[in-house]
């Protein structure tokens, strides 16, 4: 299996686990908030969809620009060789604010956001196919909080981000006041 296909498989494994965590919840469960400032599960799902769309779109944009000889980012790749976990540890605050592009805005039905997240799997697979054989370290696109990340780090970030928010959903489901049925 090639590197990009391994990265894709890791993201898809995280996607499957993330979707499973929120599947089958009723309206009250999907909208439960233990505190007014916390996100409910619908908002978490929407955030993941919007963040992934932004990341995939950014990588496509960077790839197209790089092939034209017009990279979207140039400079010192300050995170070279680091994992997404290491980059997050170096660049995020303990209670990080969501970039506006990835902030929940629409709300709505949980199943809509689950379907959107499933649909994005094919967009990511198309990108991975396009990047087959490409030097992933040369494809850089800045993250709104963490700065420049290469394609390998971006794929890893998608995986890590879903796992972090899957844990957030698990914690919500364990809170007092969360309906068990």
Q: What is the pLDDT of residues 47-82, one digit of tens each?
A: 999 999 999 999 999 999 999 999 998 888 889 999
Convert the pLDDT of each residue in 101-145 to its tens digit: 999 999 999 999 999 999 999 999 999 999 999 999 999 999 998
Q: What is the CA radius of gyration of the chain?
A: 17
Q: With a cut of 90, say whether residue 96 has pLDDT above it.
A: no
Contact 155, 142 (CB under 8 A): no
Q: With a cut of 90, say whether residue 15 has pLDDT above it.
A: yes
Q: What is the CATH number of domain 3-173?
A: 1.20.120.450
The residue among 96 and 161 whose pLDDT is bigger is 161
Q: With a cut of 80, say whether residue 30 has pLDDT above it.
A: yes
Q: What is the pTM of this model?
A: 0.94
At CA 176, angle to CA 172 and CA 179, rounded to 5? 75
Q: What is the pLDDT of residue 1?
A: 83
Beta-sheet pairing, 140-143 with 147-150:
antiparallel
Nearest to 55 by CA among 152, 164, 168, 167: 152
């Amino acid at each position: 299996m090639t590197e990009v296909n391994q990265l894709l498989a890791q993201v898809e494994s995280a996607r499957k686990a993330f979707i499973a965590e929120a599947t089958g919840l009723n309206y009250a469960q999907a909208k439960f908030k233990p505190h007014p400032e916390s996100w409910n599960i619908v908002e978490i799902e929407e955030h993941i969809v919007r963040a992934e769309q932004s990341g995939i779109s950014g990588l496509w944009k960077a790839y197209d620009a790089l092939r034209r000889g017009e990279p979207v980012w140039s400079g010192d790749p300050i995170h070279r060789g680091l994992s997404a976990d290491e980059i997050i540890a170096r660049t995020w605050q303990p209670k990080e604010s969501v970039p506006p592009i990835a902030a929940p805005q629409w709300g709505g039905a949980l199943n809509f956001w689950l379907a959107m997240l499933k649909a994005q799997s094919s967009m990511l697979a198309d990108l991975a196919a396009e990047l087959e054989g490409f030097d992933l370290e040369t494809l850089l696109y800045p993250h709104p909080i963490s700065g420049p990340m290469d394609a390998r780090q971006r794929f890893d970030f998608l995986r890590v981000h879903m796992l972090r928010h899957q844990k957030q959903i698990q914690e919500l489901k364990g809170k007092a006041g969360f309906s068990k049925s």
